Amino acid sequence: MKITAAFAGLALMLPGAVLADALPDLAGKEITIVTENAYPPLQFLDKSGAAVGWEYDAMTEMAKRLNFKIKYENISWDAMIPAVSEGQYDIGMTGITIKDDRKEKVDFSDPYMRSEMVMLVRGDESRFTDAKSFAADTALLAAAQPGTTPFYTVIYDVLDGNEANPRVKLFETFGATVEALKSGDVDLVLTDGTAGKGYVDASGGKLKIVGEKLGTEDFGFIFPKGSALVAPINAGIAALKADGTFDGLNKKWFLDYKMGS
């Protein structure tokens, strides 16, 4: 995938500039943010065990501009939306696709990133080259986290619409789906281009992307319904887009950074 294509649309630029002195001041408020730390390069644990990634850097920059303190917590993906919905945390972040059904449970920020769904396979895969040829071979298996965009895409856009299809093996984390792919337990993982490119770059040829893109998705931060933090965070997102900060983070995490280095 060409660099220009991989990152086209990552920063959804807004017209005009957002001046720092016009941003809300949260007066040093402590905000609890929950994440999964399993979705590189947005958020993950590096070799030293430190939590790093695009979303962490973005939140650090927003905390500076909006004057708030961050307390991070960790939770599994399947528990995140319910926990945020119940008010256990102020914000959730883990590359969460903005979807209407999720809006019934949580509020979303404005989009901070756009990505496209791709097919991640082993580097030596030759049995299929696209969604149609994968679906045609009933011996082939896919891995997904339940309730995620990749899960619904593989079920409805690649296979037959049966959410109990035994060809889809379920895993708790995104990282576990990739490990199952590497080990040969499954043959396909669907992911957005951001994570897919990171895994391919770090694999030394053991992974690759095949086929056409399967769709476009926008990522947003989530909040309990009615949260007063939505407007300030949206202002922070707009400011970071307008002043070039997001462009810098895209370069750092998607162009310069190689996972595992």
Give average pLDDT by consecutive 10-residue segment, the chain, 261 residues. 37 44 92 92 90 97 98 95 98 94 97 91 97 97 91 94 97 90 97 79 91 89 98 98 93 62 30
Q: What per-residue confidence (pLDDT) applies to 41?
A: 83
Rounded-to-integer distance, Cα 118 and Cα 184, Å: 19
Residue 252: partners with Cβ closer than 8 Å, 6 or more residues away: 54, 57
In a domain? residue 240:
yes
- Statement to judge: residues 204 and 132 lie in one domain: yes
Residues with Cβ within 8 Å of 96's Cβ and at least 6 positions away in sequence, in order, are: 80, 81, 102, 108, 219, 220, 221, 222
Q: Are 185 and 210 in a shared domain?
A: yes
50 shares its domain with 92: yes
- Tell me, yes or no, whether 13 and 97 share the same domain: yes
107, 119: one domain: no
Provide the pLDDT for residue 53. Answer: 94
Residue 257, pLDDT score: 54
What's the rounded Cα separation, in Å, for the pair 259 and 38? 13
Cross-strand pairs, 32: 71
CATH of the domain at 28: 3.40.190.10
Number of domains in the chain: 2
Residues 126 and 196 in one domain: yes
What angle (nearest 5°) sits at the alpha carbon of residue 215, between those of residues 161 and 190? 65
Domain coverage including residue 146: 115-215
Note the pTM of the prediction, 2 decimals: 0.71
In a domain, 252, yes or no: yes
Angle (deg, nearest 10), helices 230-242 and 54-66: 110
